[in-house]
A and B are shown apart, each in its own frame.
Chain A
Amino acid sequence: MKAVKIIAIVLLVAFVGIQFMPVERNQSDGVPKTDFMLVNDVPSDIKNKLQVSCYDCHSNNTQYPWYNKVQPVAWFLEGHIKEGKAELNFNEWDSLSSRRKASKLRSIIKQIESGEMPMDSYTLIHKEAAFSEAEKQELIQWVERLKDSI
């Protein structure tokens, strides 16, 4: 039993220790002119949905509730944000060519349709980021229309 205690203490110390490791926060001032919301005519409910469900990992600004600041959650999140932004950054939307916009919109539709996005590991904590079936359909239809208009 003593061994268990020692292990527990070591882990606890490690857990406290990693809280002091630096993390790069995904935050920036202002929204660039190329932002998806600024260059497209987005209805407010869609806008809200995209902001809550997508922008944390697909823009230059992440909302950081307290649990996102705790390690190792913060590291985990940092990795996802990096990957997410490389794939699609809504803030830089208008810097893409029409061809790539159409490609991205197509991927957005596929990802939402198949339920791959928003990710389960993300909606597990961010309950409000999950889509209901109705919201899913509404969003997909709207993105389809946008894609056809390009």
Chain B
Amino acid sequence: MKNLKMSIAAMLLLTLSFANGQEKEKMNHDHATMKMDHSKMMNMNNDAKAEVILTDYLSLKEALVADNTKKAAEAGSKLVASFKAFDRTAYTGEEQMELIEIIADATEHAEHIVKSELDHQREHFKVLSKDMTDMVAITGTDKKLYEQFCPMYDGGTAWLSMNEDIKNPYYGSKMLTCGKVQKEIN
């Protein structure tokens, strides 16, 4: 009888672990088809869709400054959507190639931010910030931006902000004012 009970217990456990595995499986990676258009060569200085991306990035930054995982995740999913809506046809062939790579990378980081804990969100935000800086270098922006730098986080890490005052998204309340402005954009 004891053996029988043990085997029942074992089977129940197996069933449970299986159910758990299935649940975690849900993840949708959407690879949009990429088309390029070399005919249009005009480079706009105010790209409204790039501005939306930047705004979403900045609200993500605010959420991280406030140590707010949930808000960061919300901003992350907005960002995924605004990357998807981005229209690169107005840029040159070379710029488009670059933008495709930047957005592919940045989208992945934004997706991870949606489903991660705070410390992981910050790890992804680091690389996302690099992507955003490179994107802005191509698209330009009508916003006045400050590239800020914290020497302590992960061997030195930068981010973008609209305020000159330092509010550190990597440490939040733990070390809110760690960092300095290293560059002004516009």
Q: Which residues of A are interface residues toward B (Cβ below 8 A)?
A: 1, 4-5, 7-8, 11-12, 14-15, 71-73, 75-76, 79-80, 82-83, 86, 97-100, 103, 106, 110
Contact = CB atoms under 8 A, between A and B. Distances in A.
A100 B8 contact: no
B185 interface: no
Which 3 A-B pairs give the minimum distances between C-beta atoms? A72-B18, A76-B21, A97-B101
Interface string B114-135: 0000000001000100010000
10 contacts: A15-B11, A72-B18, A76-B17, A79-B25, A83-B27, A86-B29, A100-B104, A103-B109, A106-B127, A110-B123
A72 to B, nearest CB: 3
Give the secondary structure class of A's interface. Answer: helix
A122 B71 CA distance: 33
Contact of A7 (B8, B22, B108): B8
A4 B4 contact: yes
Given A72-B17, A86-B27, A106-B127, A11 B105 contact: no
A11 B131 CA distance: 53
Contact of B14 (A8, A72, A99): A72
Interface string B123-150: 1000100010000000000000000000
B25 A82 contact: yes
Interface residues of B, number: 26
A69 B131 CA distance: 42
The prevalent SS among residues of B at the interface is helix
Contacts of A12: 7, 11
A123 to B, nearest CB: 15
A79 B21 contact: yes
Contact of B101 (A11, A100, A106): A100
Contacts of B131: 99
B1 A1 contact: yes
Contacts of A4: 4-5, 8
A69 B142 CA distance: 58
Contact of B22 (A1, A79, A86): A79
A103 B127 contact: yes
B25 A83 contact: yes
Nearest to A101: B105
B136 to A, nearest CB: 15
Contacts of A15: 11, 14
A56 to B, nearest CB: 15
Given A73-B14, A80-B21, A86-B27, A103 B105 contact: yes
B123 to A, nearest CB: 6
Contacts of A5: 4
A123 B62 CA distance: 39
A6 to B, nearest CB: 11
